[in-house]
Amino acid sequence: MKKSKRLLAGYLIVMAFSLMNIACKESENKIKDGEITQFVVWDQNSTKHELHVNNVKNIISNKETFPVNVNLSRLVAEFKTNYESVILKVDDALQQSGKTRNDFTKEVVYDLYVGDAKQRSYTVLITKGVLANSFQSFSFNEKEMENYQPIINEETGEISNENEIPKNINISDLAPVFTLMERGATVKVNGVKQVSGVQRHDFSKPIVYTIEGEDGSSRSYTVDLKQGDFVAIKNPVMSGSYADPTVIHVGNEFYTYVTSGRVRGYRSSDLFNWRSIGPPSEVFTTRPDFVEVVSGKDAPGMWAPDINYFDGKYVMYYSISQWGEGAKCGIGVGVSNLPQGPFVPPAGNPNGKLFISTEIGVHNSIDPCFYEENGKRYLFWGSFHGLYMTELTADGMAVKDMGQKTKVAGKAFEATYIHKRENYYYLFASVGGCCDGVNSSYKVVVGRSQNLAGPYVSRGGVDMNTIDAWGATGFDPIVLQGNDTYIGPGHNARIITDKNGVDWMLYHSYIKENNTVGSRNLMLGKVNWDNDGWPIVDNGTPSPILTEIPVF
């Protein structure tokens, strides 16, 4: 009898634990089943609009049509969810209830997560009334206006920009692009019919646009652009052929040297306003000649200079190459007492040659980069046949031992630049096709090491020495790559740090509207460093406007 009671008690205990476990699991399942319970938006006049949440179809829509004066592009969403652990994202950006603004002129998708798991996606679609004689859109296609597009205020009839336009952007000659709510309406300025994207106006003063409907009614809008008393940088900082830049800071000025067969020099006090060193702009009075010339091809050109200052003189390393002759190209050195040149071969070296490819044992020996540390001088170089370093003689005018070199990266890379920051050496390099106009795939990548000779590794710990694939597909991080406007950015110069501690980088890039092979424009970008010490230029692609400028 006692044994039966003990068995019964044990059974009841087991059942109780089982029921508790089931309850806990059910509770966990409920927590995992997240949903939005309330969704409202606040407009530009701080008016609240409640939306309907359909948790079956995952659709959020307005209960009634919004007034025509509500600016759907500036709505702030406020929402509630059934559990605190639920988070919402739009395009992977975390949303904060009552704080995050989104553009609801189009469908907005809110992804709902519980922890790291995405459970569902809500589509938010808001409609509003249509006002007769009104603009549907009003914008400017000029790339320098990309960050300063105006907003239409239907309530006041004012079209104006939220962010002030820098004073160095010309707004006195702009051709706006617009669409209308009514297909048959006509737009006029001072009685003259306007065609979208055609007529240009001086927007440094207000311009009144009148929309005339087919029914004889009309409505006027005043376009009033706000321009601030500050300067922003327009890219490119020099338009035309300015490939393979190198830069040096001399007193209160910067000198950059670029190539298109010859080395040309330019000077600036701020990194974005440049003028020629000359006349002439060429800094070599005669082009060095130490490579074997193959007949039937264009003459060898000077490419990818690297400017330095040591031992009281300016020292420029450079490449001499005839296109496609990787075995015959090489690297030379020139010196000058002045940054504007002329640069001449060093004493005892009448043609300035350091080496050619066959002498050093590296095919396509171009793209030099000088580095000095602990009283020793080194040269890095290479192009798609491995990147290498070797020690130079004490005066930096020759290779110490032609038989000694260290491979630091594989065949995917060229255009080496070494930068020291805190405990790391950073090896910047360019990958992909440099010189095919709008078909160029050039981009800048980086690896780092705690030793000058490597190994240089990617963010994921991959040794750059092991990467031989064209374009280095999947390499991380990519510091800079092209976009719809700028094609094939790469071959960066050294990093320049301004007096506020901000880093800046010159590089070259094609522009889509300017796609001839010889037009690699000079660009400027801000170098940002993440919390793990990895760099990225601007937001990873070239910016048409830099609103932060170097301070010197």
Q: Tell me the one-letter amino acid at 155.
A: E
Q: Render the burial of 338-377: b for 16+ CB within 10 Å, e for the rest.
A: ebbbebebbeebeebbbbbbeebebbbbbbbbbbeeeeeb
Token reading at 70 = 């509500």
Q: Which helix (H) or strand (E) holds 313?
A: strand 313-321
Distance from C-alpha of 512 to C-alpha of 488, rounded to nearest angstrom: 10
Question: Is 476 among the catalytic positions?
Answer: no
Closest among 377, 442, 452 to 414, alpha carbons compared = 442
Nearest residue to 490 via CA among 474, 506, 507: 507
Q: Secondary structure of 38-86 in the HEC alphabet?
A: EEEEECCCCCEEEEEEECCCCEEEECCCECCCCCHHHEEEEEEECCCCE
Residue among 43, 154, 244, 367 flagged as catalytic? 244
Q: Which residue has the tokens 């740090």?
A: 497
Residue 229: active-site member: no
**Nearest CA among 462, 413, 474 for reference residue 442:** 413
- Token pair listed for 158: 């004012």
CB-side exposure of 547: number of CA atoms within 13 Å? 11
Q: What contacts 106, CB < 8 A, 6 or more positions away? A: none
Owner of token pair 């409609």:
127
Q: What is the CA radius of gyration of the chain?
A: 31
Question: Which has the closest alpha carbon to 494: 390, 380, 418, 423?
Answer: 418
User: How far apart, in whole angstroms, are the C-alpha atoms of residue 242 and residue 428?
Assistant: 19
Instruction: Label the pairing between strands 414-421 and 313-321.
Output: unpaired
Paired tokens of 128 = 């509003």
Of the listed 212, 282, 414, 503, which one is catalytic? Answer: 414
Question: Among all chains, which residue has been given the structure tokens 């997560």?
Answer: 113
Active site residues: 244, 414
